[in-house]
Chains A and B, each alone.
Chain A
Amino acid sequence: MAGLSLKSIYKIYPGSEKPSVADFNLEIEDKEFLVLVGPSGCGKSTTLRMIAGLEEISKGELYIGDRLVNDVAPKDRDIAMVFQSYALYPHMTVYQNMAFGLKLRKMKKTEIDERVREAAKILDIEHLLERKPKALSGGQRQRVALGRAIVREPQVFLMDEPLSNLDAKLRVQMRTEIGKLHKRLETTFIYVTHDQTEAMTMGTRIVIMKDGIVQQVDSPTQVYHHPVNMFVAGFIGSPSMNFIDGKLEEKGKDVHFTAEGVDIVIPEGKAKTLREKGYLMKNVLLGVRPEDIHQEPVFLEASPNSIVNSHIDVAENLGHEMNLYLSGVGSKILVARVDGRANIKEGSNIQLAFDMNKIHIFDKETELNVFED
């Protein structure tokens, strides 16, 4: 088992001026489950492939444990990889698929057998060992791919969108299984996904990337509730955070946020920070998550200073909750997530209130979260 250390790692492809990954610094602890997440093209897979040794590191140093591995071949890095394609060896049985890597390493037959059967037991695929991949379902194939990695007993597991080819139900199931596997194996896992739900539910820490640059590294809870910038705030959470373009003004003792159809009071604690940082009379962006916008009468009564009036353009009822697409608050469509049982009609007007303790204010130029700076 080992931790990893990435020191100022860059990936610059020949002929490209802009690095695909720039100045990536991170200490990954032994036994950690780290998730790299970000939109397509953000550099997360490239980072993982550099750790795996499948892409050359243009600049910087990569350590696995205490060993500098920049120039070490993938097979000698003591890692195991599971990819989206999980291409099993079609001409081999499940047993042979799992044993192949060990056979190459000239391990004793008895030890290979022991490891394969142990991994099969963990993954509940003992009854499939004599089958060939074509006779397996998608979920079973995914388990075999995991088994092939487990038997190697590597220092680090690398997984690149391993669940993408599974249907939604299986994905949820395998998500839990991989989580359990991590706890059982007590090994470092590095997992790449563009699915924020996977990132939030699986990772002990999440690295959010954009355009090759790390935006934030933190626990799922911290990232969700304390995003450092607009990108992170907008990327994590579904539906994503609403951003309202407006201005901060001092009215009497209070600090107000005003925008088209909006005049709400900022709570004193947050107002103090805004005053101290010189944001009064400045244009800013207010961020509020859909679930922090309420329509319940009790909440409206308790929050007279954060009420907005809007028009329901679309109401999507998902059963347990309802997403409302609203106009009249700021210049863009606002999304609110309310109780699925609420008596709400599309095309009608509605009064809503923001939970002001959970709002965020972002600098318009730097896009940084003023409260997290």
Chain B
Amino acid sequence: MNWDEMKIKLEQILNVQIQLEILHNIDWFMDRNVVVKNNRIYYFLYFEDHSYFTYAIEEATLTNTEKSLIGMTIDANRASHSQLAPEYKQQTALSLRDWIMQQLQLDLDHEHMPLPLLNIPQLSNHNIPILIQTDIADKNIGGDDELLKLLESFYDTKVIFVPLSEKEYLLLCSVELLEEEIEGQGKDLELEIEELLVAFSSSLHEMLISEWVGKCHVSVHYPIVPSESVLFTIKQLREIMELGRNYYINEYVYTPWNLYLEALLDVLPDDSKKHFIQRVFKQVDFVFDPEMKTTLEQFFNTGCNISETAKKLYIHRNTLNYRLDKFKQETGLDVRVFNQAILVKVSLLLYKVTNET
């Protein structure tokens, strides 16, 4: 029901006069939906263009029961609005964007959302936060509307889409999507959630490159309640995105649990990174050739398993052992020994970020 229709119905039922009032520059509704000022009771309806749309009623004309019933009716109508009306949702997303950008510019990352935004039920529930970045300018990709439509088709509208800038978008997907897929039978729940989040973000990436913009990058985090921690999460998603893009130039989907070591190493100054490589390899000009680099990466990816690595690289295990022997001969480091494998793994990461980006 739209707000005008509701006003007429309430007036008929309660036999009172209701004014639709627009309020500007006030902070009455920062933490509640109903405010009494100058003997009038104001019910918050929705927020648009920096204005609060309200019903205003003379307080004396209502009983306490009527006041509560009006509040409940408005809440229910607002909730159905946010699920049904795309233009309402889009407007809310822009308000959310404005608030997020304002807070981040002030370097505030633990602020709670103001009430107008809290009235969107999805923001107070668990959501999967996803950040999308593209290097292609907005003018070439049909604008935000096209992306919003695409995402709504993809997720069947269980998504809040916030364009943070021309090339960066925040997605908040209802955690229901995840819950529907969890099997939970004898599986480690955290691991299952991580696997599902990778599946969701990878499929989103694949859909976007086929149906939207072409090249883009996606970072994802564990589910959050946006009203409590969206600012901090955006910061984390951006950090993950930067790490992923720096350390893995041929990958496009990044998760925090796959980048713990990279995050730790990244705080080192560049000089320290270079010195570490030089100390480990005892040669200033040490270079990983592409074949050796691929071999070592695959070896570490398979948990230092010779047979698995050989299988993945389509080579005989003797050939793999020969390559690892050759590496040992050149560097003095045998990656089949745990402590030396750690040194090489760390050096390989640092080498990538100091020499390849």
Contact = CB atoms under 8 A, between A and B. Distances in A.
Interface residues of B, number: 34
A97 to B, nearest CB: 9
Contacts of A132: 181
B206 A83 contact: yes
B105 interface: no
Contact of A55 (B150, B180, B215): B215
Contact of A54 (B183, B202, B209): B209
B206 A87 contact: yes
A347 B155 CA distance: 65
Contacts of B311: 168
A87 B318 contact: no
Interface in B146-205: 150, 153-155, 177, 180-181, 183, 196, 199-200, 202-203, 205
Contact of A100 (B154, B202, B209, B318): B154
Contacts of A269: none
A39 B315 CA distance: 12
Contact of B200 (A90, A238, A239): A90
Interface string B302-333: 00000000010010101000000000000000
A74 B214 contact: yes
B236 to A, nearest CB: 23
Contacts of B316: 239, 316
B291 A40 contact: yes
A41 B290 CA distance: 7
Indicate the size class of the contact surface on chain A.
35 or more
Interface string B289-301: 0110110000000
Nearest to A71: B140
Contact of B203 (A80, A90, A238): A90
Contacts, number: 76
A75 B210 contact: yes
A88 B209 contact: no
A40 B181 CA distance: 35
Contacts of A197: 314
A39 B290 contact: yes
Contacts of B214: 52-54, 73-74
B211 interface: yes
A83 B290 CA distance: 22
A134 to B, nearest CB: 6
Contacts of B207: 89, 100
Given A90-B199, A168-B311, A316-B316, A134 B209 contact: no
Contacts of B293: 40
A169 B36 CA distance: 74
Contacts of A90: 181, 196, 199-200, 203
Contacts of A41: 290, 294
Contacts of A73: 140-141, 213-214
A49 B294 CA distance: 20
16 contacts: A39-B290, A40-B291, A49-B215, A52-B214, A54-B214, A73-B140, A73-B213, A75-B211, A87-B199, A87-B202, A90-B181, A90-B196, A91-B177, A91-B181, A100-B153, A101-B210
Given A89-B154, A89-B203, 11 more contacts: A39-B291, A41-B290, A73-B140, A73-B141, A74-B210, A75-B212, A89-B207, A90-B196, A90-B200, A91-B177, A132-B181
Interface of B: 140-141, 150, 153-155, 177, 180-181, 183, 196, 199-200, 202-203, 205-207, 209-215, 250, 290-291, 293-294, 311, 314, 316, 318
Interface of A: 39-41, 45, 49, 52-55, 73-75, 80-81, 83, 85, 87-91, 100-101, 103-104, 132-134, 168, 194-195, 197, 238-239, 314, 316, 325
